[in-house]
Structure 1
């Protein structure tokens, strides 16, 4: 079953990548083009313009699809591995387990890090600090994942005594508190030029956020349905599904 789940996760990721690529190509790429035009036009003195060896046509077509496809299929594979691990350990349907994995992954790996360090278009940020900014972002992702893991662990530890609903509420409150502390202690990065169009910046960040929602939500929906079909198909005939009691 693990191999079937992994194949289903990778295939689901590829299908979701088609939708994510279409959204990025239609909505996100025009904003990037406008930002690049501002950068190349010398509108920002603090931005360094680099001439790449790959043309913009390749970047926004084949390059964009390759990157999105790799990202989505990798996430689909990770969700499949997580689903295989949780199968039989949770008293929920496979579809709900996948949605839980997708939600926790989105919050820990995308939402919390981007609240602290939101995505920025070309022309925002100094070329000299790109290494530091990248390191801070990955540290934020790692720390956020640790906070999520701690909250989930506590929820499992107390769910038998307090019930699932109360344990989830406590874990959610703990995660919010830990995330707030994390965002407070992590260094702030603010290198947006004053003359950079605020509307363009907001549009770029909105599209980046929506694309992540398409990826994680699409995988939760599509792979959740496929995973449930795989689990039901591999269950021997005559075997009745048993649920583990919450308390």
Structure 2
């Protein structure tokens, strides 16, 4: 793949990431912000009860939930789209006999699973202002360690499947790769420490809604990117041939 094609795909990836960020922003504002407000209200109520007052906000909550949220989601979408486009350039043609559109969807789905869903199952999202500030460093380290392990295991499962395919066939090689990924991931889940910093009396329904909204935001971002970028990549790499005008009819007798 030449540098011009890579550059064009990179630009399209960033545009697709921006569009996917807009979609994720709608979900974040509609589903995520009410849960965040509830979590902050819970924390403020307990802080006021314990200390007899409230601390002044450096940035207003209304600004955080509008301009701050939009800026964060859109910048993240553009950066995410650029990185995903570069990964797509590497994966195209190496992931099997898939076209540009199917490769984008496959890459997005696998990346969503390895980068977000698997680490999320071990260390699910915690509402802001709720977790123990003394353990934030430990929690962050464990979460990124789980992401690294998940990506490495997914890569290893892919390599294992490709090496076994000539011997036992694509179907059984895929099953072996998936089974190996599940087994080793389960071992990692059992070995890594459990983190539970949610206060004892925190509403379970609010926690459940927050975690569902966090998952919905990421699913929207990754799936939206896969669909939009796949269409843009398809038009770039496999453009439709221009229609050839029909020749004028020759009158009979000439």
Band the TM-score falls in, shorter-chain normalisation: 0.7 to 0.9
Counterpart of 2:233 in 1: which secondary structure? helix
State the alpha-carbon separation in 1 of the partners of residues 117 and 99 from structure 2. Answer: 25
Q: How does 1:139-158 map to 2 (within 5 A)?
A: 139-158=145-164
Shift of 1:234: 10
The corresponding residue for 2:71 is 66
Judged with a 3 Å threshold, the aligned counterparts in structure 2 of structure 1 residues 78 and 137 are, in CA distance, closer, same or farther, namely: same
The corresponding residue for 1:176 is 182
Q: Does 1:83 align with 2:88?
A: yes
The corresponding residue for 1:32 is 36
Per mean C-alpha deviation after superposition, the further-off stretch among 159-168 and 14-23 is: 159-168
Shift of 1:52: 4.8
RMSD: 2.0
Shift of 1:72: 1.8
Q: Does 1:228 align with 2:208?
A: no
Shift of 1:159: 2.0
What TM-score, normalized to structure 2? 0.85
Write the deviation string for residues 163-197 of structure 1: whole angstroms up to 9, x where unpaired. 32222211111111111011111110012212110
Q: How does 1:1-247 map to 2 (within 5 A)?
A: 1-42=5-46, 52-89=57-94, 90-233=96-239
**Unaligned stretches of 5+ residues in structure 1:** 236-247
Aligned length: 232
Question: Contact 1:39–1:122 (CA<8 Å) still a contact in 2?
Answer: no
Counterpart of 1:201 in 2: which secondary structure? helix
State the alpha-carbon separation in 2 of the partners of residues 176 and 23 from structure 1. Answer: 30
Question: Contact 1:83–1:94 (CA<8 Å) still a contact in 2?
Answer: no
State the alpha-carbon separation in 2 of the partners of residues 230 and 51 from structure 1. Answer: 52
Counterpart of 1:119 in 2: which secondary structure? coil
Judged with a 3 Å threshold, the aligned counterparts in structure 2 of structure 1 residues 77 and 160 are, in CA distance, closer, same or farther, namely: farther
After the TM superposition, which parts of structure 1 deviate over 4 Å for at least 4 consecutive aligned residues?
A: 49-52
Shift of 1:9: 0.6
Shift of 1:2: 0.9
Counterpart of 1:233 in 2: which secondary structure? coil
Write the deviation string for residues 104-126 of structure 1: whole angstroms up to 9, x where unpaired. 11111101101010001134321
- Larger-Rg structure: 2
State the alpha-carbon separation in 2 of the partners of residues 70 and 176 from structure 1. Answer: 33
State the alpha-carbon separation in 2 of the partners of residues 52 and 81 from structure 1. Answer: 40
